[in-house]
Amino acid sequence: MSDENIPHVQAKFFTKQPQYSVPDTPYSVPASVGATELSALICQVLKAGSDESAETAIDFDFLLDGEFLRLPLDKHLENKGISSEDLVEIEFIERQPAPKPEDSLLHDDWVSCLQGCQECILSGCYDNTVRLWSTTGVPLLTIPGHSAPVKCVRWLNGDDGPICRFITGSHDQTILIWEWHKQDNSVECVHACRGHGGSVDCIAINDEKDKFVSGSWDKMLKLWSAASVAEGDQQDTAEAPSKKQKISKKVQTRVPILTLSGHTEGISAAEWLGRSEVCTASWDHTLRLWDMEKATQTSQMQGTKVFLDMSYSHLNRQIVTASADRHLRLWDPRTSDGAIVKCTYTSHNGWVSSVSWSPVNQYLFLSGSYDAVMKLWDTRSPKAPLYNMSGHEEKILSVDWSIPSLLLSGAADNHLKIFHYKDTQYSKGR
């Protein structure tokens, strides 16, 4: 049905996935084609170059000037200011498959926070407990200890050793450090970190696993030792609160190494960017960078609305933030001049409550919102998410992508949902 009057574009295709490489020759394609037609073309070329019978058609995505093709080719070129008369180089990659719902784990109240680690998942709940699950959905422990809703949970170590350590922060203004003895599936609270004057809403552990920071509704950022024994530890009069404890052991009270002030509203998120550099996000509409060795604030990035969460990628060294204006924003904390906000992602219909980068792919991140939908994003597709994951009946309070193959979300419908995910693309590359 070729029509000589239809405008065409000369395009050369390339890929970084060697199994799909095609000849390095230009193809004349109709200017109005979209990703679906181009994908069919690439499959045709691959089939022609293969000795075997064609396998199931593969879906490909196409990148022009660093952005996915989501419009007809001529419109995309026009938006990017690229002449359709030029030879256009188009990268193609296998399209990311849709995440598959795996499990839904019921709690007794709102699921406010969660984090995966290898074969286990920690979740914090508004019923004041912390829960430990296997990644296959088997409940392992329900852990009392806090006297108010648990707002943040973080694994200190979840590797193959017999004892795993994790940290929990609560609306009761305390942070508890726990030891989970895997062999007999028992847990004990070993340290109670006291010093905050408000709800502890976020915890971040450094790469060396010997220190962590906490952010609170009291507007303060505090630095703590994460070591098993630390200078200044004091014996507490209260028994460790665990019901599963075999040996009676007093809880050690731990005080902060350092307290930093500067935020004018509560701190909602904290991340370590380097050995001594921490970034915090706050309800005061700012992101702030801190030097923990010099105990000073080094810079400040101004937002327009309340920041509810933030995630930092060690792969691309960028920050993505979740805000009360329904938007997600990509920031480059290393930029000293020009626009620090690199991109804005808009699709949610409610406050964006939580965000989490992929641990293995520098382009992908998750978001969860009060609209009860979790979304999978690619930084190269700014106008639309790759996938929407629905199923929650109430607002999502937390998402987590610590385990590469599992996308986790916790919500006010008392459910923790698990989606299975297989990343088909090349992952790292800084």
What is the pLDDT, as a whole number, of residue 89? 95
**Which residues, including other chains, have CB under 8 Å from residue 178's CB and lie 6 or more apart?**
130, 143, 145, 165, 166, 167, 168, 187, 188, 189, 190, 242
DSSP-assigned states of every residue in 215-256 = EETTS-EEEEE-SSS-TT-EEEEEEP--TT--S--EEEEE--
Bridge partners of 205, per DSSP, are 212
Closest to 279 (Cα-Cα) out of 243, 314, 241: 314
> pTM value?
0.91
Please state, as a whole number, how many other Cβ atoms lie within 10 Å of the Cβ of residue 338.
7
Question: For 79-99, what is the mean pLDDT?
Answer: 92
Instruction: Name the DSSP class of 97.
Output: P
Q: Which CATH architecture has domain 100-420?
A: 7 Propeller (2.130)
Phi, psi of 220 (to 5 degrees): -100, 145
At 18 the three-state DSSP class reads: helix
For 79, the enclosing helix (H) or strand (E) is: helix 73-80
Q: Where are the domains of the chain?
A: 8-94, 100-420
Q: Which CATH architecture has domain 8-94?
A: Roll (3.10)
Q: At residue 70, what is the residue type? A: R
Which of 237-251, 323-337, 355-369 has the largest mean confidence?
Answer: 355-369
pLDDT higher than threshold 70 for residue 362:
yes
**Which residues, including other chains, have CB under 8 Å from residue 338's CB and lie 6 or more apart?**
none
Reported as a single tens digit per residue, the pLDDT across 157-206 is 976 689 999 999 999 999 999 999 999 999 999 999 999 999 999 999 99
Reported as a single tens digit per residue, the pLDDT across 33-64 is 999 999 999 999 998 877 665 566 889 999 99
At 23 the three-state DSSP class reads: coil
What is the pLDDT, as a whole number, of residue 340? 84
pLDDT higher than threshold 80 for residue 139:
yes
Alpha carbon distance 135, 123 (integer Å): 12
Please state, as a whole number, how many other Cβ atoms lie within 10 Å of the Cβ of residue 346.
14
